[in-house]
Amino acid sequence: MDFDVAAPDPAGMVASLSSLGYSLPAAVADLVDNSLSAEAKNVDVDFTWEGQRSWIAVADDGRGMTEPELVIAMTVAARGPSAERSATDLGRFGVGLKSASFSQCRKLTVATTRDGSWHARTWDLGIVEQYKEWRLLRDPGDATTSLLRRITGDMQHGTVVLWEQLSGYHSTFVSNEDEKTQAQFYAEAERTEAHLAMVFARFLQRPARCRLRVRGSELSPWDPFLSAHASVQRIPWEPLPLGSQSVRVEPFVLPTAQRLSAAEHESAAGQKGWLGQQGFYVYRRDRLILAGGWLGIRGLRREEKYNLARIAVDIPAEADTDWGVDVRKASVVPPVSLRRHLERIANYTREAAARSARQRGEVVSRAHGAPLRFAWNVKRQDGRIILRINRNHPLVKAAMGDRVGNPDVVRSMIRLLEETVPVMALRVLHETDTVDDPEPFGGPGPAAPETVAIARHVYETLLGQGRSPEDARGVLSSMSPFDEQQGFWNS
């Protein structure tokens, strides 16, 4: 055999693993996966602000690791996706701990014990880049060792993953007194709480399989299906065959706003809002992989009238490859053999959701927006659908009150009205359905020059009405259709 050994450069490999696109909440969720795989009953996530020395830790009381097991766990891709795993293992590629950590910090330390005797190993990316070798440090340094003692306390078994030199915070420009950056740090902690409550909801539902705390506060599960609510429509589930395995698909139609309290309605909207949370929820070993969306199935789009449609899909861990589960456990691609079945189930669930919305006469989601956001008002009155131009819209008010008759403002208002005819709101109130609804100003993406010009007129109008530049951009970025496009208002 004639060959060359083409080993990857450690610094280049680190850069690649750091660029997989993890968000902080998703990266922390990967660490919690390992805790649950180790059968932990208690998992604590700590965010501590100390300026440049701020740190994040995940500590669990799982079974812990021996020293050789720790070295394997710290080795990149020590186990591939085909390696045999336990029934509780939520991992797949053997890079989750490292890729998630490298995306968020420059120094990763893992300490573990099975009997009160602790072992620790550290990846310091500065060392890896300096020596161009995978030098796994046995001594994390005095400061880190002291911090580990503070975290572990009197734990007799379990594991601690510690992130130091955090990305975005480990900078000479960051100080303990930097209140703005500190607020951003703890806002990330709040987003992480919401994400973990959603991803691990099944583990947290009673009887809970574990307790998950963030900054000392125990998380309550976020149930996207409102399973315990009396008004939820549960459509009988189907088993879809996939090789020797089967995929469980269970559709739900959520209650309309009138059947929910204000708190329930706000909570059920989730992190993405009602429009963003409709669709499929894909679980693997009870861990949520995908939250909402229609799996890229042709012809299925997010629309307001389907906001009540949510479908649980449980895939066996052995079907990872068939579903194209990625390294971040953040996206899936359904197998070709199941797509027509998923499309069929989605269509009748969507129709049931639309029918429920029609019966209540409720235009969901957008009807609850601020009055400034939309150029049209839509309602049903005396059996008729009535459309009225929103006279409180700033551009409409400016055109109506402009004594000199500025033609540019009038032209911008007319084009805005042409592009924002409330098609989806009308479809909730009508029976008809089409696949070629117009997309305002060409749909989501970078704004065209004409769109920017119209947005500029709206912006200047808001300034003229006494709003600050920051407030004016905020109003503009939440206004249809600019909320779905990129321009000066959200850059």
Indicate the residue among 182, 214, 246 that finishes a domain. 214
Instruction: Find which of 141-155, 166-180, 327-341, 379-393 is predicted with most confidence, using mean pLDDT.
Output: 141-155
Decide if pLDDT at 125 tops 50. yes
Contact between 22 and 104 (Cβ < 8 Å): yes
| Residue 422's pLDDT band (cuts 50, 70, 90) | low
Helix/strand/coil (H/E/C) assignment for every residue in the chain = CCCCCCCCCHHHHHHHHHCCCCCHHHHHHHHHHHHHHCCCCEEEEEEECECECCEEEEEECCCCCCHHHHHHHHCCCCCCCCCCCCCCCCCCCCCHHHHHHHCCEEEEEEEEECCCCCEEEEEEHHHHHHHCCCCCECCCCHHHHHHHHHHHCCCCCEEEEEEEEECCCCCCCCCCCCHHHHHHHHHHHHHHHHHHHHHCHHHHCCCCCCEEEECCEECCCCCCCCCCCCCCEECCCEEEEECCEEEEEEEEECCCHHHCCHHHHHHHCCCCHHHHHCEEEEEECCEEEEECECCCCCCCCCCHHHCCEEEEEEECHHHHHHHCCCCCCCCCCCCHHHHHHHHHHHHHHHHHHHHHHHHHCCCCCHHHCCCCCCCEEEEEECCEEEEEECCCCHHHHHHHHCCCCCHHHHHHHHHHHHHCCCHHHHHHHCCCCCCCCCCHHHCCEECCHHHHHHHHHHHHHHHHCCCCHHHHHHHHHCCCCHHHEECCCCC
Q: How far is CA 392 from CA 208, 387, 463, in A?
A: 49, 14, 15
435 against 477, higher pLDDT? 477
Let me know whether 332 and 392 are in one domain: no
Q: How far apart are CA 279 and CA 251, in angstroms?
A: 9
Other CB atoms closer than 10 Å to residue 65's CB: what's the count? 22
**pLDDT confidence of residue 364:** 39
What per-residue confidence (pLDDT) applies to 426? Answer: 63
Higher pLDDT, 142 or 19: 142
Q: How many CB atoms neighbour CB 136 within 10 A?
A: 15
pLDDT at 212 over 50: yes
- Report in angstroms the alpha-carbon separations of 87 from 36, 158, 286, 330: 11, 19, 12, 21
Query: Which of residues 214, 242, 268 is at a domain's end?
Result: 214
pLDDT tier, 78 (very low <50, low <70, confident <90, very high otherwise): low
d(CA 414, CA 329): 45
Structural contact between residues 124 and 106, judged by C-beta atoms closer than 8 angstroms: yes
The per-residue pLDDT for 330 is 67
Same domain flag for 44 and 17: yes
Q: Cα–Cα–Cα angle for 282, 284, 288, nearest 5°?
A: 55
On the CB side of 169, how many CA atoms lie within 13 Å of its CA?
A: 31
Least confident of 46-60, 155-169, 313-327, 344-358: 313-327
**What band does 473 get if pLDDT is binned at 50, 70 and 90?**
confident
Q: What does the pLDDT look like over 354-385, one tens digit per residue?
A: 988 877 644 433 444 454 556 777 666 666 66
Please report whether residue 53 resides in a domain. Answer: yes
Please give the share of the chain, as a percent, with pLDDT higher than 70. 84
Residue of 184 and 89 predicted with greater confidence: 184
Same domain (yes/no): 374, 353: no
Q: Is 3 a member of any domain?
A: no
pLDDT value for 365: 39
In the predicted structure, residue 435 carries a pLDDT above the cut 70: no
Domain shared by 108 and 176, yes or no: yes
Which tokens hold the place of 69? 């097991």
Q: Do 209 and 240 belong together in one domain?
A: no
pLDDT of residue 178: 87
288 lies in the same domain as 431: no
pLDDT at 381: 65
Specify the amino acid at residue 394.
P
pLDDT, residue 111, reads 97
Average pLDDT of the residues in 269-273: 92
Cβ(343)–Cβ(264) below 8 Å? no
Mean pLDDT of 119-133: 92
Cβ neighbours of residue 65 closer than 8 Å, sequence gap 6 or more: 73, 112, 114, 119, 159
Q: Which of 285, 272, 270 is nearest to 323 (CA)?
A: 285
- What is the structure's pLDDT at 379? 67
User: Same domain, yes or no, for 353 and 373?
Assistant: no
In a domain, 37, yes or no: yes
Q: What is the pLDDT of residue 93?
A: 41
Please state the length of the chain.
491
Domain span at residue 17 reads 10-214
Q: What's the pLDDT at 483?
A: 75
What tokens does 196 get?
A: 């973990």
- Please provide residue 294's backbone torsions phi and psi, each rounded to the nearest 5 degrees: -110, 30
| Residue that is last in its domain, among 162, 183, 214 | 214
- With respect to residue 224, please indicate whether it lies within any of the assigned structural domains: no
Which of 247-256, 286-295, 312-321 is least confident? 312-321
Residues 269 and 319 in one domain: yes
pLDDT for 32 beyond 90: yes
pLDDT at 264: 94
**Span 317-351, pLDDT tens digits:** 877 778 877 776 667 889 999 999 999 999 999 99
CB–CB of 461/394 below 8 Å?
yes
Q: 264 or 436, which is more confident?
A: 264
Q: Are residues 334 and 380 in the same domain?
A: no
pLDDT(463) > 80? yes
pLDDT for 430 beyond 80: no
Task: Count structural domains, the chain.
Answer: 3
Question: Do 81 and 7 form a contact (C-beta atoms < 8 A)?
Answer: no
Over range 6-22, report the average pLDDT: 80
- 301 with 249, same domain: the answer is yes
Asked whether residue 222 is assigned to any structural domain, the reply reads: no
For the entire predicted model, the pTM comes to 0.70
Task: Average the pLDDT over 70-78 and give the result.
Answer: 85
Q: Average the pLDDT over each of 169-173, 309-313, 366-370, 455-459 and give the range with the smallest value.
A: 366-370
> Does residue 156 share a domain with residue 192?
yes
Q: Which residue has the higher pLDDT, 325 or 252?
A: 252
Q: Report the pLDDT value the prediction gives residue 60, as an integer from 0 to 100.
A: 97
Closest CA to 108 of 91, 93, 128, 131: 128
